Structure 1
């Protein structure tokens, strides 16, 4: 579902990504860990067609973003630490606006479905500016789910959430992770990332230095591996 080979990105003389090789199958959930400045957000932007790579190959659901970017955008959902919601619209109005951009059929039913999924149906007529940070993040996930994407990208979705909101987000991610949907999430929080994903990667200074199923190493050993690579590079 998600494939890259020798993917690079440079900004002038600065190499933000250095030869990233990824191969994820349908239904896998990869969490990419790394310190600030590791290149996590840059990679997500490239995979979600928001930024062009300098070189390398990419396939998303078998499609090449250089030639089929519009088709890819119809199959992916993107969630960031910034929600990009309209605060003076209700939750329902936000989703309706987004759904019309995608020309979705049966839009009312789709909105009801995703609001139910993120536990916001009772608040769908309230203005988004009255929502807590956690509620806004759940609404942004509802927006990303509206067109039933096969691939989802989540860039630091836990940022700014209190403990209760983080727990709700964790439960929601476990729900939206289905055998038919591939997820890639970035975070620097090891415990939050490991408890929802089945594949872990470590990105340090633009290099993907580690990529393995979590069950292969276990949580404790992965923590040791993570700090080893961060301290080495």
Structure 2
């Protein structure tokens, strides 16, 4: 990372684009408190993430790698996360999260028997079971079928409406521009472009993005 500064308000979504190796995933891991920057810090509501587990618990990280417990059912995976977050009704919270991702009908199925796309839906349900105030998404649409993509889009739209702040890392300009209230491009660990979504013409942005990536 090289001098990256971001401020994202509740209800906003930053769509972050960039080529492979630009530092997007590293930035998300820093924002989640999983990596420590050499300088600076990530804050939620003005409070540093790295120093307070309760602050970190307000963050949800969604990756394109499911990383579920294969021997457990979908319900057990999500309820386990709910217990870690100290939710008063972990089983009920898990069912609600699975329902939001339209996979409640597979709640009692061991994860190892689910398709890649359904596993991704369960993983997303687990990350959102505690209704985080900040949601970090690393290529979350990877592996999802059309129904799963719609469920994720609906869930993220609801989170935004309830005041959550989102950072969406994606290579897909259509997905990012559809959800983002702000857009940014990262390259070699630096933000090389950042602007409000309302100021972006889709075709012009696509051409500008291709030019930035090609220039390397």
Shorter-chain TM-score bucket reads: over 0.9
What does 1:76-225 align with in structure 2 at a 5 Å threshold?
76-162=59-145, 165-225=148-208
Contact 1:20-1:207 within 8 A present in 2 as well: yes
RMSD between superposed Cα atoms in Å: 1.7
* Bigger relative contact order, structure 1 or 2 (CA pairs below 8 A, ≥6 apart): 2
SS for the counterpart of 2:4 is: strand
Question: Hey, which of these two has a bigger chunk of strand by percent?
Answer: 1
SS for the counterpart of 1:24 is: coil
Q: C-alpha deviations, 1:134-188, integer Å up to 9, x for none?
A: 2111111111111111110011112234555444433443343324111101112
Cα distance in structure 1, aligned partners of 2:151 and 2:100: 12
The answer for unaligned runs of 5 or more in structure 1 is 1-16
SS for the counterpart of 2:5 is: strand
- Matched length: 216
1:51 to 27, 35, 39: 35
Query: Greater shift after overlay, 32-41 or 157-166?
Result: 157-166
Cα distance in structure 1, aligned partners of 2:154 and 2:207: 26
Q: C-alpha deviations, 1:81-123, integer Å up to 9, x for none?
A: 1111111111111112112222211222212211111111111
Contact 1:134-1:166 within 8 A present in 2 as well: no
Cα distance in structure 2, aligned partners of 1:135 and 1:218: 34
Structure 1 runs (4+) greater than 6 angstroms displaced: none
The answer for unaligned runs of 5 or more in structure 2 is none
